[in-house]
Amino acid sequence: MPLDPAYLAYPRRRHGYDHELYPWSNLHARPAVRWPRGSVALWVCVSLEWFPITPADTPFRAPGHMVTPYPDYRHYTARDYGLRVGVWRILDALRQAGVRASFAANAAVAERCPELIAAIRGGGHEIVAHATDMNGTIDSSLSEEAERALIAQTLARLEAAGAGRPRGWLSIARSQSWATHRLLREAGIGWCADWPNDELPWAFANGLINLPLNHELSDRQIVLTQAASAESWAEQLSDAFDWLAAEAERGRGGRMLPIHLTPYIMGLPYRIHALEHLLARLAARPEAWVAPGGEIVDAWARQQPENDR
């Protein structure tokens, strides 16, 4: 039975996308981006997560939440290890390599761990908003009023806990609703890191900037999900840096490599050495410009045509 011709009629079918959130753009066709130094912007982003011992599971269970019957102390304390032990090793590794990073923090982490927030800010690192806690997930089943309140509570609680007023936002599981990009902009957020569809920043139609945070190269994906070694993870990131540096050398403009870290994964004593060696090696490369996410966004934005006027 043939399809009714009306089945194929779609008013938004056209060159590009079927939405107007942001314009379609090929990386190779854009004007070249130049960083303050080097050709590859190296962005380290560390997730600081507070997992309530009882997952809400609404609208969905956040990655990393406890999975066995409650009280699930085994998984709960394994994640708590990241805040008590692992992140301090990561801070040491960043300091040794001279790297300033972004720390995507749940508001609950800032409230419960003031010494950690003070150490992060004292090290010249950046705080990025990462919801209230790991029950603070977003999707389109959440009402706009509830989502607006979650964003406002996150920012207010982070600021009250001494983390400053974040300019950047990372959603749990990089999940957004149809309204998130608008609500973030309304709340004064300048950039988010939820959409991993590029290797350079880009702007939504409403002016919110997206800083792509590649999930394929995260420690959670490679070490936890794929069960690869920390050395394999570091090798893949080194290979990615080599490729991006070579691509830039061919005259295609600056590139960006994000390194997404989870303290309870990479901060363990049998993995931290791989991070230390990777940071030392990449930060020493002449092609590398190492900066927090907000500085990368600013450097990119200054080169966009609308900012030349």
Q: What is the per-residue pLDDT across 257-293, written as a single tens digit (0 to 9) for each?
A: 999 999 999 999 999 999 999 999 999 999 999 999 9
Structural domains of the chain, with CATH: 35-307 (3.20.20.370)
Question: Bridge partners of 202?
Answer: 210
Name the pLDDT band for 1 (thresholds 50, 70, 90): low
Q: Which 8-state DSSP code applies to residue 251?
A: I
Q: What per-residue confidence (pLDDT) applies to 307?
A: 57
- pLDDT of residue 63 exceeding 90, the answer is no
Tell me the average pLDDT of the chain.
Answer: 94
Rounded Cα distance between 164 and 141, Å, is 30
How far apart are the C-alpha atoms of 58 and 134, rounded to whole Å?
A: 11
- DSSP state, residue 2: P
Which 3-state string (H, E, C) describes 30-87? CCCCCCCCCCEEEEEEEEECCCCCCCCCCCCCCCCCCCCCCCCHHHHHHHHHHHHHHH
Pair 43, 102: CB distance under 8 Å:
yes
What are the two backbone dihedrals, phi and then psi, of residue 308, each rounded to the nearest 5 degrees? -90, -10
Instruction: Calculate the alpha carbon distances from 115 to 79, 88, 119, 161, 292 in Å.
Output: 18, 11, 6, 11, 21
The 10s digit of each residue's pLDDT in 239-258 is 999 999 999 999 889 999 99
* Per-residue pLDDT reduced to its tens digit, 106-119: 999 999 999 999 99
Question: Per-residue confidence at 308, pLDDT binned at 50, 70, 90?
Answer: very low
pLDDT, residue 19, reads 86
Helix axes 230-247, 272-283, angle to 10 degrees: 20
pLDDT, tens digit, for every residue of 45-56? Answer: 999 999 998 888
**Two tokens at 87?**
């992140």
The residue ranking higher by pLDDT, 96 or 215, is: 96
How does residue 157 score in pLDDT terms, banded at 50, 70 and 90? very high
Strand pairing category for 102-105 and 255-261? unpaired
Give the residue-averaged pLDDT of 168-197. 96
- 221 and 7 in contact (C-beta within 8 Å)? no
With CA atoms as reference, report the closest residue to 236 among 222, 248, 220: 222
For the segment 221-236, the average pLDDT, to the nearest whole number, is 97
Across the range 113-142, mean pLDDT stands at: 96
% of the chain beyond a pLDDT of 90: 83
Residues 6+ apart with CB under 8 A from 213: 45, 170, 174, 193, 194, 196, 258, 260
DSSP letter at 207 equals S
Lowest mean pLDDT segment, chosen from 70-84, 193-207, 267-281:
70-84
- Please report the beta strands in the chain, taking only residues with DSSP state E, as ranges in sequence order: 40-48, 102-105, 126-129, 168-169, 191-192, 202-203, 209-210, 255-261, 288-290
What is the distance between the alpha carbons of residues 27 and 4, in angstroms, rounded to a whole number?
A: 38
Give the pLDDT mean for 21-39: 94
Instruction: Give the per-residue pLDDT at 189.
Output: 98
pLDDT value for 205: 96
- CB hemisphere CA count around 9 (13 angstroms): 3
| Alpha-carbon gap, residue 308 to 136, rounded angstroms | 38
> Looking at the predicted structure, is the pLDDT value of residue 135 above 90?
yes
Interval 62-90 mean pLDDT: 90
Q: What phi, psi does 145 have (nearest 5°)?
A: -65, -40
What percent of the chain is modeled with pLDDT above 70? 99
CA-based Rg of the chain, rounded to a whole angstrom?
Answer: 20
